Structures are given as C-alpha cells and as structure tokens.
Amino acid sequence: MPGIRRLLVANRGEIAVRVIRAARSLGIETVLAASAADRDSLGAALADRTVCLGPGPAAQSYLNPGLVVEAARGTGCDALHPGYGFLSEKPALARACAAFGITFVGPPPDTIEQMGDKLAARAMAARAGVPLLPGSAAVADSAAAASIAAEVGYPVLLKAAAGGGGRGMMIADDEPALHAAFETASAEARAAFGDGTLYVERFIRNARHIEVQVLADGHGKVLHLGERDCSVQRRYQKVIEEGPAATLAPGIRAAIQAAAVKLISALDYANAGTVEFLYDAERAAFFFIEVNARIQVEHPVTELITGQDLVAWQLRIAGGEPLDLEQSDIALSGHAIECRINAEDPANGFRPSPGRVQGFAAPEDPAVRFDTYLAEGALVPPFYDSMVGKLLVHGSDRDDAIARMLAALDDLRIDGLSTNQAFHRFVLRHPDFAAGRVHTRWLETVGMDAFLARESAA
C-alpha cells in the first residue's frame, strides 16, 4: 500500500503542531483545517497550507465532520489525522473519510463505535478475558441496581452507558443512597448523552489510573509500549501523567500490559490506542475501564521512555506499513513526567484565562520537552480547551524526573496569561506525590484544599 502523500490535520493547538512535525519528518505534505480563531496559529505557520473551516466556535468548525472532509477533498488530501478530542472518536468522521476514499489515521469506524459504547466495550473485554470491575450490564431501575450492588458490595458507582467525563456518574455508600442517586444519575446521563441507561460498578476508594499504550498494525501485530500512571486528576481530567508506573510491583505491571495486548488483539484494531485500567491498591488488583481509540494527550510520556515516535507510527501504519518491531525491541528507559500547562487560574476556581501571550520562554534543558502552540504574540482563543502546552521531562528515575520537572516549571515563562504552573509545583512537592500515594480522587479530597489553604496563607 502506498504511503500517505498529503495529510489533512483536523485539529488545533499543540496536537496540530505535533502532527504537522511528524508528517514533515516522513516527507508528507500537510494541510491544516483551522477555524478563523486559529488562522494565525503556530500550526498554520508550519503547515504547507491552511484552509479556514468556519468561525471560532467549535460547533461551526472543528466539530463539523462535513466541513473537515470537504476541506480534505478540496485540497486533494489522501489522509486525515483527527488528533484527540473534537471528532477523533466520532465514527461519523471515520465513515465519511472511508466514503470519499480518504485514509483515516485511526482504527476502523466500527471499532471506534464499539469502544465508544461503554457496555459494548465491557462485553468485549469480558470475552477477551480481561478483568472487569465487578458490576452489571444495563440496569432497568433502582431496585435492579440495588440487587446488583448487594452482590458487588458497597460502595458502588452508578455510571452512564453512553457516558464519559463523569457525567451521569454517582457514588452510593449504601442502599438508601443508591435509591436516592439513581434518578439523578439517570436524568444527568439523559441530559448529557440523550440516553439515561445506567450500569453499576464496584467503587474503589483508593484507585490508580493506569493505562497501557499500544500500537497495532492491522496485519496481526500488536505491541505495548509500557504503561502510564495518570492518577492526578481533577474532575476526571488528567493533570499530571507519568511513566512507567514506578510504584506498582513489576508483576502487576507485566500483567496489565499483557491484558491490554490481549484485548486489542481481540478487536479489529489498527493504529495507536490506549487501554485504561483502574488499579485497586488495597486489593492489588486491576480492572478494565475503557479503550481510547486515538492518540492521547499524554502520548509523549511514552515517547520519552521508549524513544518511539508514536505519531509517526500512526501515519506509517495508516499508510499501510507493518510494524517492523518486536516486543523485545521496546525497552523502557528512565522515568518521564508530563504536566499539562493550562491557561487557567487555580486559585480562582480554575477560571480559564484566554488572551494574548506577551512573553514566552521555554526551558532549554535537553531533558525537557515542551509541546505547545504558544509563541510570543500567540493568541489563546476563548473557544476551546484551556490546555496550551505539555511540559515533559525525562529523568534517570522518578525522583530525578520530579526534580527536573520542578526546575522546568520555574524556567517556563508565559507572560500575559494565568497558568497552573504553581499548582503543578505544589503537587510535585507534596509528600503524597513523592511517596506514590496519590489516587484518582486525591486532588479533590486532599490536594485542592491543601493548595488553597497555602495560597490564602501566602
């Protein structure tokens, strides 16, 4: 199969820059499909050509599959990279690409659809023999939920079948609480996703978020590239990611990696993907959560510890190349940490802080990587996610990486916007983080209050 010749980049911000650079390294021409708000962005300057989809609001530009596919056709692109977010996991985009003979850089549309339906994904994982959190299929009412919960044991989590991002999700500590929460969760799910279907899962109080990066070439080869620990989360949004999951026992890490490869091998899967797990620190057991059928924000953590260029692999696999690597070729070296740099004000309820960058300096340490679309004079438009860059360090071990990240956070200078750099420094210096005791609700239950108390004392 011939490789990709001209690629439409259907995204913005730092991932647009990242994809353009990877394409360029492979000799692929790039066309950036940008909104009017991103016409003068760094991605637009780097792409061979930029076309303007529509006005700033995402619904009129980045979220419209028709516009994106029309842009690819109109500029003679033979492939399309969706990045993350926006349309990256909408089967409609992958299907429209297929209908017009454009190579979609991602898994087949049916697989994207299957992984987007949480209950279908759970069923696939069960068939593949991957451990699932004790729980249920769809439950009809709160009585059915209560009988499942009695088997599973409290506390339980009510979750939306169509869901994600924490909407339609509620914790119940006992049966009266479950009955009380059921209607609310179902109504929330219906409002957010147009589907009020709920299911029940055991709730783990002390859970780590562990995810495994995989590459599948569609010719039968599936490799894992190690795991990442993304337990520092705020409202189900990752804040700090690191790899490998150094605080887990080696046996557990190997078992999680093997489970991810087993699941992806059971699917009709090609391209990069991530299998997410919850790790129950008290029981030393792990459970499947979901598959992200796209490149993820935190993919550079894996790139630093493996030396593999994941976005280049995405383009090569989409172009038909087989993976000419064996699992034994993937060696993990050192420890990497990523801090998501957001234009927001943590001391004021994380209020977004869009605007124009007045001054900008990235750290010069070669062990530091800053993936960003920022430059002096760059605009952070108000229409999109507040993430403006990803600060990454590669250290010899976890302690070294933490020390380097603290220095990098000091060296990174972004004038004209509020950012969460001070918040990152606070988390990295916290004894719980250093000891690897952080779980997925640590920020909400411990970290935030401690941070705000310190801010008000300062």
Partner 1 sequence: MTISHDDIRNLLRLFDASDWTEMRLEVDGLKLVVSNDPNYSAAPAAAPAAVPATAPAAAPATAPAPGSAAPQAGAPVAAAVELKDGQIAVKAPNLGTFWQQPKPGAPPYVQVGDLVDETTTVCLIEVMKLFTPVKAQARGRVAAICVADGTMVEFDTVLLVLDPV
Binding residues for partner 1 (CB under 8 A): 33, 35-36, 51-55, 60-61, 64, 66-67, 69-71, 73-76, 96, 99-101
* Max Cα–Cα distance, the chain, nearest Å: 62
* Closest CA relative to residue 226, chosen from 310, 288, 165, 167: 310
| Cα gap 379→375, rounded to integer Å | 9
66/129 with CB nearer partner 1: 66
CB of 358 to partner 1, least distance (A): 27
What is the per-residue DSSP string for 356-409? E--EEE----TTEEEEES--TT-EE-TTS-SEEEEEEEEESSHHHHHHHHHHHH
Q: Give the catalytic positions in this structure.
A: 294
Q: And the tokens for 70?
A: 């029309």
CB of 72 to partner 1, least distance (A): 10
ω before 244 within 30° of 0 (cis)? yes
CB of 23 to partner 1, least distance (A): 17
66/165 with CB nearer partner 1: 66
Residue 119 has a CB neighbour count (10 Å cut-off) of 15
> For 139, phi and psi rounded to 5 degrees?
-110, 140
CB of 62 to partner 1, least distance (A): 12
Residues in the chain: 458
31/160 with CB nearer partner 1: 31
> For 18, phi and psi rounded to 5 degrees?
-60, -45
| Cα gap 277→165, rounded to integer Å | 15
Type of residue found at 286: F
37/304 with CB nearer partner 1: 37
* Closest CA relative to residue 384, chosen from 373, 400, 397, 398: 373
Type of residue found at 222: V
75/206 with CB nearer partner 1: 75
DSSP helix/strand/coil, 165: coil
CB of 102 to partner 1, least distance (A): 9
* Closest CA relative to residue 214, chosen from 262, 274, 269: 274
**Are the CB atoms for 4 and 28 separated by under 8 Å?**
yes
67/291 with CB nearer partner 1: 67
DSSP helix/strand/coil, 277: strand
- Pairing, β 6-9 against β 29-34: parallel
CB of 79 to partner 1, least distance (A): 14
CB of 96 to partner 1, least distance (A): 7
DSSP helix/strand/coil, 140: coil
70/195 with CB nearer partner 1: 70
- Pairing, β 359-361 against β 135-139: unpaired
